[in-house]
C-alpha cells in the first residue's frame, strides 16, 4: 500500500508549526500505524533530509497511554476502542491521504512535532486521585467485602490509561471524562468513601486551574475513548460534586 | 570478589522477623535530613518511593516517560501471586516458596524467596486498601485464578489488566507523596551515570529528555528500579523504551551483574509477521487456564494449513496433538513458561508449526462449549479483543496462533539479602536485580516481587544502611566526581553525534539494533550451544565495530532527540550482549530459561549439573572489550530437597 502523509512538524514549544508532506510506499496491510511511521523515519534518516518525525510511544499494545495521534480528524484514528499503536494499515485504503496532528489542547503544550506535554493529568491525580493509605497497617484484604457488580463498575472506570484522547476530542478541551473516571473508580468502592467529598472538590478545582475547558455534554470523549470509559462517570462526578457542596464531611463544615 | 549475601541467622521462617527485630533504624527527625534517589517508576520504583516518602525521607524519583504511570509494569496482564489460601486448596507460604524455588530450577536464593512468599499476603492487603479493583466473587470476597507451575489457585487479578491496576495503585500512593512534598518527580529524565564518592553511591547524572540538558542529583542512597534488558533482542514483549542502560551504568561503576544469561521466553505471544515489526505482543498466561495448545498430528495437515488449503477447524479431534497434555499429564497446559516455550519450538522445528511455520494453536473451542461464550468473554474479553485488533482473526471462532517471545530477564544487578548491590548505598529492586526467580520466573511472580521489594523490603533494609548516614550531612553535587561523570556523559553524547558526520557508510540506530536482536535470538535465544555462542560472539563483535563507525544520529545533544536516546542505549546493549554470551558459554548445564542443547535428557528436558553449577555467577566489569571476571555465590538449600524439576 502507499500513502501520502501530511504531518505536523514543530521544532519546539515556542516555534511555529506547519504541515509537511511525505510519501511512503510498499506498506504491508498488517503493519501497525506506528510501524508505518517507523518506516517513514527510517526513510528520512537514510535520505539525510531532516530530523525524523517525533511521536510518543512505548508499550505498543494499547495499555501505557503514551501514544496519541490525531489521525484524519479523530484521536487514535478511524477505529473504535483502540489506541494509535493498535491501529493497523488495513483500516486505510491504498493511496489515501493521511493527516497526522498532535493532541490540540491548551493544557497539553507541544514539545516537538507530535509529542505533547500531558503532565497536567499527573497534577490532577496529585490533587486527590488516591486513597490516603501509607504502607502497612491495613486490614486483611477479604475484610472489605465489595459486591461484584460494584467492583466491576469500579474496574470499568479504573481502566482509563490517561492518554488524553478525551481532551483532544472535546471541542472545549475538557478533561471531564478523565477526572470522572478516577472519581468514579474510588467513589464506587468503600475504600474511597472517606475522602470522596474532598477528592471531587480538589480534582475538579485542579482541572479548572490547569486550563482544561468546561464540559458541555457532547460526549465526543466517550466516542473516542480507547478504553470505552462511559459518560455515566461524568454524571456520577456531577452528583459527587453537588453532594460534596452540602455533605456533612466537607472540610470546612 | 567475595560475595556476602548477608542472610540473617535463624530458621528460614524466622529470618525476616529476626532481621527486622535487630536492624538499625533512623529516627523521624533524622529521616528529613536524608535524601534518596529512585530511578524508575514501575511497581518496584513507585512503591519504594511512595513508602520511603511516607516514612519521612526526601525522595527524588526519575522516569523516562512523560508520566510515572507509563512504566512497563502497566502491561502485565494476568495477575499477582500471594499465599492467602483464600480458596482453601492447600496453599501456604511454604508452598509458594517451594513452587518459586522449583520453578526457578533451584537457582534462586532460599532466604530471599521465603521472604518474598512471606510478604506476598501483605501486598494484596495493601493494594486493596489503595482501591485496586481486583476481581471478586458474588459474595464480595476476592477471586483467584491458576497460573503456570502451581497446583493451587493463588493468583489475584483485575481482568487482563492486573499490572495496570497495581501500577496505578502504586502511582496513586506516589502521587499522594508528591502532593505532600516528600517526593519530587522528574519525568522525561534519564539516568546517564552513577556517581560514586569514596566507594559509596552518592548520586546520578541525568539527561532531561526534553531539553537535552545534563543535570546532577546527589543523595545518601540510590535505588535502581529500571527494569530488565529484554529489548536487547530488539523484538520482545517489552515496551519500546525499556532498556538496560541505568543498570549497566551501575555495573560499569562496580556493581556486579548476576546471571545475565537467564532470559525468560514467554510461550504465548502473537507470532512475528514481517521485518518491519517493532515489537511482540504478549497474550496472557492466564489464557492457558482454559485454552488448549495443539498442532496437527500429521505433517501433511500442517503443510496444508501453512499453504492455507486447510483451516484449523477442519482438523478432526483425533488428528490434533495436544502436545503439552501428552508430554506433561500432571500440569498439562499449565507447565511453566520455559517448558511450554521449548515444547512449542520442538514441534515447530520438527515441521508441525502452523501459520508461517513458527506458530502453534491456542484453542478455546472446548472452553466455550463447556462454559459458554459469556463466561469466556468475561474472563478474557479484553485479550480476545486485543488479539483480533492485531491479527484480524476472531478467537471465538478460530484458535489463536501463538509463538514464544522474549519477555523477562531473570538476570540483573547482584544484590544481597538487603537488596544492596556490591556498591554500598546502591540498591536494586524489581526486574533490575537478579534475586528471586533463579533461572526461570513463574507467571504472576514479577508483580509480586516488584511490590514486595518496594513496599516491604527496601523501606526496612535501606534504613539499616542509612542509619549511620545521618552523620555525613547534606551530599553536595558540586564535587570533582560529579564533574568527571558529567563530562564523560557529555563526551559520549558528542561522540555518537560525530560518527555519522564523518562516516562514508551510514546506518540508522534501528538498523544495528535489529541486527543485534537477530544474532541474539538465533544464537543466544531459546536453545544455545558452544557453536552458536561462538558464532554470536564473533558476530556481535563485528557488528559493534561497525556500529562505532557507521551509526548515524541526527540533530544535537541539547534538544529532544529520540534517535540519540536509542543510540546510547544500544551502545550499552552491545557490551551486555557480550557478557550474556560469556555467561551462557561458561554455564555448561541447562537450567530454567538457559537451555544448552549439549545438556538435555533423552526426552528433551533440561539437565542441570548441581555438582558444578549450583551457584550464582556474578560478573565484574573490567573495561570496554575486556573479558569480565566472575565471582561465585554458592547456593545452599537447607530447607528444600533438591529434585529433578518434573511436571509430568
Question: Looking at chain B, which residue has its C-alpha nearest residue A27?
Answer: B276
pTM of the model as a whole = 0.97
CA dihedral over B568, A52, B74, A91, signed as positive or negative: negative
What part of B 87-106 touches A (C-beta under 8 Å)?
A: none
Name the minimum distance, in Å, from the CA of A136 to any CA of chain B: 7
Please report, in angstroms and rounded to a whole number, the separation of the first and last CA atoms in chain B.
Answer: 40
Q: Alpha carbon B46 to chain centroid distance?
A: 16
Phi, psi dihedral angles at A216 (to 5 degrees): -115, 25
Which candidate from B75, B173, B240 shows the least CB-CB separation from A57? Answer: B240
Q: Which of B556, B418, B570 is nearest to B493 (CA)?
A: B556
Residue with cell string 570496554: B624
> Does A253 score more than 50 pLDDT?
no
Q: Which of B467, B453, B456, B487 is nearest to B425 (CA)?
A: B467
Which candidate from B133, B455, B554 shows the least CB-CB separation from A158? Answer: B133
Question: Looking at chain A, which residue has its C-alpha nearest residue B562?
Answer: A54
CATH number for the domain that contains residue B277: 3.90.700.10
Q: Are residues B383 and B498 in the same domain?
A: no
The answer to whether the Cβ–Cβ distance between A12 and B559 falls below 8 Å is yes
The answer to whether the Cβ–Cβ distance between B506 and A48 falls below 8 Å is yes
ipTM > 0.90, yes or no: yes
The answer to whether the Cβ–Cβ distance between A38 and B510 falls below 8 Å is yes
pLDDT band at residue B648 using 50, 70 and 90 as cut-offs:
confident
Pairing outcome for strands B400-409 and B360-363? antiparallel
Specify whether the CB–CB gap between A198 and A128 falls below 8 A: yes
The answer to whether the Cβ–Cβ distance between B277 and A185 falls below 8 Å is no
Write out chain B residues lying below 8 Å of A65, CB-based. Answer: 67, 69-70
Which candidate from B140, B274, B389 shows the least CB-CB separation from A82? Answer: B389
Q: Are residues B275 and B391 in the same domain?
A: yes
Pairing outcome for strands A110-112 and A97-101? unpaired
Name the minimum distance, in Å, from the CA of A25 to any CA of chain B: 13
Task: Burial-class residue A177 by CB neighbours within 10 Å (0-12, 13-18, 19+).
Answer: buried
Output the CA–CA distances (angstroms, integers) from residue B436 to B6, B248, B349, in the order listed. 15, 20, 32
Q: Alpha carbon A105 to chain centroid distance?
A: 12
Residue with cell string 486527590: A128
Mean of the pLDDT values across residues B364-393? Answer: 91
How far is Cα B616 from Cα B596, in angstroms, rounded to an integer?
17
Does B417 reside within a domain? no
Q: Which residues does B284 contact at the CB level (< 8 Å), separation at least 6?
A: B77, B78, B160, B268, B380, B383
pLDDT in tens, B508-540: 999 999 999 999 999 999 999 999 999 999 999
Task: Supply the pLDDT for residue B275.
Answer: 87
Does B599 reside within a domain? yes
The answer to whether the Cβ–Cβ distance between A88 and B392 falls below 8 Å is yes
Q: Which of A235, A234, A212, A231 is nearest to A222 (CA)?
A: A231
pLDDT in tens, B239-282: 999 999 999 999 999 999 999 999 999 999 999 988 899 999 99
Write out chain A residues lying below 8 Å of B388, CB-based. Answer: none
Q: Which of B202, B207, B320, B337 is catalytic?
A: B337
> Nearest 5°: CA angle at A128, between A122 and A132?
115
DSSP code for B184:
E
Task: Burial-class residue A223 by CB neighbours within 10 Å (0-12, 13-18, 19+).
Answer: middle
How far is Cα B476 from Cα B480, in angstroms, rounded to an integer?
10
Name the minimum distance, in Å, from the CA of B113 to any CA of chain A: 20
Mean of the pLDDT values across residues A32-43? Answer: 96
Residue-range domains of chain A with CATH: 3-112 (3.10.20.30), 119-246 (1.10.1060.10)
B293 touches chain A (CB under 8 A): no
Specify whether the CB–CB gap between B216 and B482 falls below 8 A: yes
The answer to whether the Cβ–Cβ distance between B176 and A122 falls below 8 Å is no
Cell numbers describing residue A194: 472517606
Write out chain A residues lying below 8 Å of B273, CB-based. Answer: 30
Residue with cell string 524489581: B430
Q: How many residues does chain B have?
A: 648
Task: Walk across the sheet containing B189-197 and list its strands.
Answer: B189-197, B200-208, B214-218
Q: How many CA atoms lie within 13 A of B412 on its CB side?
A: 33
How far is Cα B251 from Cα B485, in angstroms, rounded to an integer?
15
Which candidate from A90, A117, A145 shows the least CB-CB separation from B66? Answer: A117
Write out chain A residues lying below 8 Å of B125, CB-based. Answer: 138-141
For chains A and B, count residue pairs whose Cβ atoms are closer than 8 Å. 212
Mean of the pLDDT values across residues B49-74? Answer: 98
Mean of the pLDDT values across residues B200-214? Answer: 98
Write out chain B residues lying below 8 Å of A53, CB-based. Answer: none
The answer to whether the Cβ–Cβ distance between B241 and A30 falls below 8 Å is no
Which candidate from A119, A127, A131 shows the least CB-CB separation from B130? Answer: A131
Task: Supply the pLDDT for residue A248.
Answer: 55
Write out chain A residues lying below 8 Å of B282, CB-based. Answer: 61
How far is Cα A220 from Cα A197, in angstroms, rounded to an integer?
27
Pairing outcome for strands B629-634 and B615-620? antiparallel
B471 touches chain A (CB under 8 A): no
Nearest 10 degrees: Cα torsion A71, A75, A77, A83: 130
A contact test, residue of B168, B178, B507 with most A CBs within 10 A: B168
Does B382 reside within a domain? yes
How far is Cα B106 from Cα B231, in angstroms, rounded to an integer?
26
β-bridge mates for residue A23, sequence order: A4
Mean of the pLDDT values across residues A241-245? Answer: 92
Q: Are residues B517 and B401 in the same domain?
A: no
Specify whether the CB–CB gap between B608 and B438 falls below 8 A: no
Pairing outcome for strands B189-197 and B200-208? antiparallel
Name the minimum distance, in Å, from the CA of A223 to any CA of chain B: 18
Cell numbers describing residue B573: 546493549
Q: pLDDT exceeding 70 applies to what percent of chain A?
A: 97
Phi, psi dihedral angles at B144 (to 5 degrees): -130, 160
Output the CA–CA distances (angstroms, integers) from residue A10 to A14, A111, B269, in the order listed. 9, 8, 37
Which candidate from B65, B176, B385 shows the least CB-CB separation from A132? Answer: B176
Name the minimum distance, in Å, from the CA of A11 to any CA of chain B: 9
How far is Cα B321 from Cα B121, in angstroms, rounded to an integer?
39
pLDDT in tens, B476-506: 999 999 999 999 999 999 999 999 888 889 9
pLDDT in tens, B595-634: 999 999 998 889 999 999 999 999 999 999 999 999 999 9
Q: Which residues does B559 contact at the CB level (< 8 Å), separation at least 6?
A: A12, A112, B211, B212
How far is Cα B223 from Cα B481, in angstroms, rounded to an integer?
19
> Does A246 score more than 90 pLDDT?
no
What burial letters (b/e) apply to B16-34, b meaning 16+ CB within 10 Å?
beebeeebeebeeebbebb
Mean of the pLDDT values across residues A240-245? Answer: 93
Q: Which of B592, B583, B532, B277 is nearest to B408 (CA)?
A: B592
Name the minimum distance, in Å, from the CA of B159 to any CA of chain A: 8
Question: Looking at chain A, which residue has its C-alpha nearest residue B276?
Answer: A35
Question: Looking at chain B, which residue has its C-alpha nearest residue A145?
Answer: B140
Mean of the pLDDT values across residues A110-117? Answer: 98
Q: Alpha carbon B63 to chain centroid distance?
A: 17
| 3-state helix vs strand vs coil in chain B, percent to 5 | 45, 15, 40
The answer to whether the Cβ–Cβ distance between A64 and B510 falls below 8 Å is no
What part of B 332-391 touches A (C-beta under 8 Å)?
A: 385-386, 389-390
How far is Cα B408 from Cα B609, in angstroms, rounded to an integer?
24
How far is Cα B548 from Cα B329, in angstroms, rounded to an integer?
51
What burial letters (b/e) apply to B67-99, b meaning 16+ CB within 10 Å?
bbbbbbbbbbbbbbbbbbbbeeeebebbbbbbb
Phi, psi dihedral angles at B440 (to 5 degrees): -160, 135
> Does A49 score more than 70 pLDDT?
no
The answer to whether the Cβ–Cβ distance between B133 and A28 falls below 8 Å is no
How far is Cα B637 from Cα B614, in angstroms, rounded to an integer?
10
Q: Which of B402, B398, B321 is nearest to B360 (CA)?
A: B402
pLDDT in tens, B72-123: 999 998 899 999 999 999 999 999 999 999 999 999 999 999 999 999 999 9
B123 touches chain A (CB under 8 A): no
Does B647 reside within a domain? no
Establish whether B145 is a catalytic residue: no
Domain boundary among B359, B387, B405: B405
Mean of the pLDDT values across residues A198-226? Answer: 97
Specify whether the CB–CB gap between B147 and B155 falls below 8 A: yes
Domain boundary among B350, B373, B405: B405
Question: Looking at chain B, which residue has its C-alpha nearest residue A50?
Answer: B554
Residue with cell string 558476530: B539
How far is Cα B366 from Cα A213, in angstroms, rounded to an integer?
51
Does B579 reside within a domain? yes
Which candidate from B133, B173, B389 shows the least CB-CB separation from A130? Answer: B173
B210 touches chain A (CB under 8 A): yes
How far is Cα A216 from Cα B234, in angstroms, rounded to an integer?
46
Q: Alpha carbon B202 to chain centroid distance?
A: 26
Task: Walk across the sheet containing A74-75 and list its strands.
Answer: A18-24, A3-9, A97-101, A70-71, A74-75
Q: Are residues B276 and B379 in the same domain?
A: yes
CATH number for the domain that contains residue B516: 1.20.58.100
Q: What is the mean pLDDT of chain B?
A: 96
Q: Are residues B500 and B611 in the same domain?
A: yes
Q: Are residues B401 and B522 in the same domain?
A: no
For residue B556, give its domain range: 480-620
Does B340 reside within a domain? yes
Name the minimum distance, in Å, from the CA of B137 to any CA of chain A: 6
pLDDT band at residue A247 using 50, 70 and 90 as cut-offs:
low
Q: Alpha carbon B501 to chain centroid distance?
A: 37
Which candidate from B455, B554, B560 shows the least CB-CB separation from A112? Answer: B560
Write out chain A residues lying below 8 Å of B137, CB-based. Answer: 148
Does B378 reside within a domain? yes
What part of B 256-285 touches A (C-beta under 8 Å)?
A: 273-274, 276-279, 281-282
Which candidate from B54, B273, B508 shows the least CB-CB separation from A46? Answer: B508
> Does A251 score more than 90 pLDDT?
no
The answer to whether the Cβ–Cβ distance between A127 and B555 falls below 8 Å is no
Specify whether the CB–CB gap between B80 and B165 falls below 8 A: no
Task: Supply the pLDDT for residue B380.
Answer: 86
Helix segments in B446-561, DSSP class H: 446-451, 458-466, 480-502, 509-523, 530-550
Q: What is the mean pLDDT of chain A?
A: 95
Task: Supply the pLDDT for residue B396.
Answer: 96
Q: Is A45 helix (H, G, I), strand (E, B) or coil?
A: helix
Does B234 reside within a domain? no
Tell me how many domains chain B contains: 2
Amino acid at each position: 500500500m502507499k500513502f501520502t502523509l501530511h504531518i505536523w512538524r514543530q521544532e519546539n514549544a515556542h516555534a511555529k508549526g506547519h504541515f509537511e508532506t511525505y510519501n511512503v510506499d510498499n506498506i504491508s496491510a498488517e503493519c501497525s500505524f506506528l510501524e508505518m511511521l517507523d518506516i517513514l523515519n527510517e526513510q528520512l534518516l537514510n535520505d539525510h533530509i531532516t530530523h525524523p518525525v517525533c511521536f510518543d510511544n512505548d508499550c505498543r499494545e494499547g495499555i501505557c497511554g503514551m501514544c496519541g495521534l490525531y489521525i484524519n480528524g479523530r484521536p487514535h484514528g478511524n477505529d473504535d476502542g483502540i489506541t494509535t499503536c493498535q491501529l493497523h494499515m488495513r483500516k486505510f485504503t491504498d493511496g489515501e491521504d493521511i493527516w497526522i496532528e498532535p493532541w490540540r489542547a491548551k493544557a497539553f503544550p507541544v514539545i516537538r512535532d507530535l509529542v505533547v506535554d500531558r503532565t497536567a493529568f499527573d497534577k490532577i491525580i496529585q490533587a486527590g486521585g488516591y486513597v490516603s493509605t501509607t504502607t502497612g497497617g491495613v486490614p486483611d484484604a477479604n475484610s472489605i467485602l465489595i459486591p461484584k457488580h460494584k467492583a466491576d463498575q469500579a474496574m470499568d472506570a479504573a481502566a482509563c490509561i490517561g492518554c488524553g484522547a478525551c481532551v483532544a476530542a472535546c471541542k472545549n478541551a475538557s478533561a471531564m471524562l478523565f477526572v470522572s473516571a478516577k472519581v468514579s473508580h474510588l467513589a464506587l468502592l468503600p475504600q474511597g468513601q472517606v475522602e470522596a467529598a474532598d477528592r471531587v472538590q480538589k480534582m475538579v478545582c485542579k482541572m479548572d486551574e490547569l486550563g482544561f475547558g468546561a464540559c458541555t455534554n457532547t460526549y465526543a470523549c466517550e466516542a473516542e475513548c480507547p478504553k470505552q470509559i462511559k459518560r455515566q462517570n461524568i454524571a456520577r462526578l456531577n452528583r459527587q460534586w453537588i453532594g460534596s457542596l452540602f455533605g456533612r464531611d466537607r472540610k470546612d463544615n | 570478589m567475595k560475595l556476602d549475601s548477608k542472610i540473617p541467622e535463624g530458621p528460614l521462617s524466622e529470618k525476616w522477623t529476626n532481621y527486622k527485630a535487630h536492624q538499625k533504624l533512623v529516627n523521624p527527625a533524622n529521616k528529613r535530613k536524608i535524601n534518596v534517589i529512585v530511578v524508575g517508576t514501575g511497581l518496584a520504583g513507585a512503591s519504594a518511593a511512595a513508602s520511603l516518602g511516607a516514612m519521612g525521607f526526601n525522595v527524588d524519583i526519575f522516569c523516562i516517560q512523560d508520566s510515572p504511570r507509563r512504566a512497563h509494569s502497566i502491561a502485565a496482564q494476568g495477575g499477582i501471586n500471594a499465599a492467602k489460601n483464600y480458596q482453601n486448596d492447600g496453599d501456604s507460604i511454604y508452598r509458594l516458596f517451594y513452587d518459586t524455588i522449583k520453578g526457578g530450577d533451584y537457582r534462586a536464593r532460599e532466604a530471599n524467596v521465603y521472604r518474598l512468599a512471606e510478604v506476598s499476603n501483605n501486598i494484596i492487603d495493601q493494594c486493596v486498601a489503595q482501591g485496586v479493583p481486583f476481581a471478586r466473587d458474588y459474595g464480595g470476597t476476592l477471586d483467584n485464578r491458576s497460573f503456570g507451575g502451581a497446583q493451587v489457585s493463588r493468583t489475584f487479578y483485575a481482568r487482563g489488566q492486573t499490572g495496570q491496576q497495581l501500577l496505578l495503585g502504586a502511582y496513586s500512593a506516589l502521587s499522594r507523596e508528591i502532593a505532600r512534598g516528600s517526593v519530587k518527580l522528574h519525568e522525561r529524565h534519564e539516568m546517564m551515570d552513577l556517581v560514586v564518592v569514596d566507594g559509596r553511591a552518592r548520586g546520578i547524572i541525568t539527561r532531561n529528555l526534553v531539553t537535552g540538558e545534563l543535570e546532577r542529583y546527589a543523595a545518601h542512597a540510590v535505588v535502581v528500579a529500571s527494569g530488565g534488558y529484554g529489548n536487547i533482542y530488539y523484538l520482545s514483549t517489552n515496551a519500546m523504551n525499556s532498556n538496560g542502560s541505568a543498570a549497566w551504568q551501575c555495573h560499569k561503576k562496580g556493581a556486579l551483574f548476576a546471571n545475565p544469561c537467564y532470559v525468560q521466553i514467554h510461550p504465548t505471544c502473537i507470532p512475528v509477521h514481517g521485518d518491519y515489526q517493532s515489537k511482540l505482543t504478549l497474550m496472557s498466561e492466564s489464557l492457558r487456564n482454559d485454552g488448549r495448545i495443539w498442532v496437527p498430528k500429521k505433517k501433511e495437515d500442517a503443510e496444508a494449513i501453512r499453504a492455507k488449503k486447510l483451516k484449523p477447524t477442519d482438523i478432526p479431534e483425533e488428528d490434533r496433538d495436544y502436545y503439552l497434555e501428552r508430554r506433561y499429564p500432571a500440569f498439562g497446559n499449565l507447565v511453566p513458561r520455559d517448558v511450554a516455550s521449548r515444547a512449542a519450538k520442538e514441534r515447530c522445528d520438527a515441521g508441525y508449526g502452523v501459520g508461517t511455520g513458527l506458530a502453534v494453536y491456542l484453542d478455546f473451542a472446548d472452553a466455550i462449549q463447556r462454559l459458554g461464550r459469556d463466561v469466556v468473554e468475561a474472563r478474557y474479553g479484553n485479550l480476545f479483543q486485543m488479539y483480533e485488533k492485531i491479527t484480524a482473526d476472531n478467537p471465538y471462532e478460530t484458535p489463536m496462533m501463538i509463538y514464544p517471545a522474549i519477555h523477562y530477564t531473570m538476570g540483573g544487578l547482584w544484590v544481597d539479602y538487603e537488596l544492596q548491590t556490591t556498591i554500598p548505598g546502591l540498591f536494586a529492586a524489581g526486574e533490575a536485580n537478579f534475586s528471586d526467580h533463579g533461572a526461570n520466573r513463574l507467571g504472576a511472580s514479577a508483580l509480586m516481587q516488584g511490590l514486595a521489594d518496594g513496599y516491604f523490603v527496601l523501606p526496612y533494609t535501606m534504613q539499616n544502611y542509612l542509619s549511620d548516614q545521618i552523620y555525613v550531612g547534606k551530599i553536595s553535587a558540586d564535587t570533582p566526581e560529579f564533574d568527571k561523570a558529567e563530562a564523560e556523559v557529555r563526551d559520549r553524547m558528542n561522540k555518537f553525534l560525530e560518527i555519522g558526520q564523518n562516516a562514508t557508510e551510514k546506518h540508522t540506530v534501528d538498523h544495528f539494533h535489529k541486527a543485534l536482536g537477530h544474532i541474539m535470538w538465533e544464537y543466544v535465544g531459546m536453545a544455545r550451544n558452544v557453536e552458536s555462542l561462538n558464532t554470536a560472539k564473533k558476530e556481535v563483535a563485528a557488528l559493534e565495530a561497525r556500529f562505532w563507525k557507521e551509526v548515524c544520529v541526527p540533530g544535537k545533544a541539547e534538544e529532544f532527540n529520540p534517535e540519540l536516546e536509542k543510540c546510547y542505549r544500544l551502545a550499552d546493549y552491545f557490551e551486555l550482549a557480550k557478557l550474556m554470551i560469556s555467561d551462557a558459554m561458561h554455564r555448561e548445564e541447562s537450567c530454567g530459561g538457559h537451555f544448552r542443547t549439549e545438556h538435555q535428557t533423552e526426552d528433551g528436558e533440561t539437565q542441570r549439573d548441581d555438582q558444578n553449577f549450583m551457584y550464582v555467577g556474578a560478573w565484574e566489569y573490567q573495561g570496554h572489550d575486556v573479558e569480565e571476571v566472575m565471582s561465585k555465590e554458592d547456593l545452599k538449600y537447607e530447607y528444600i530437597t533438591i529434585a529433578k524439576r518434573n511436571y509430568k
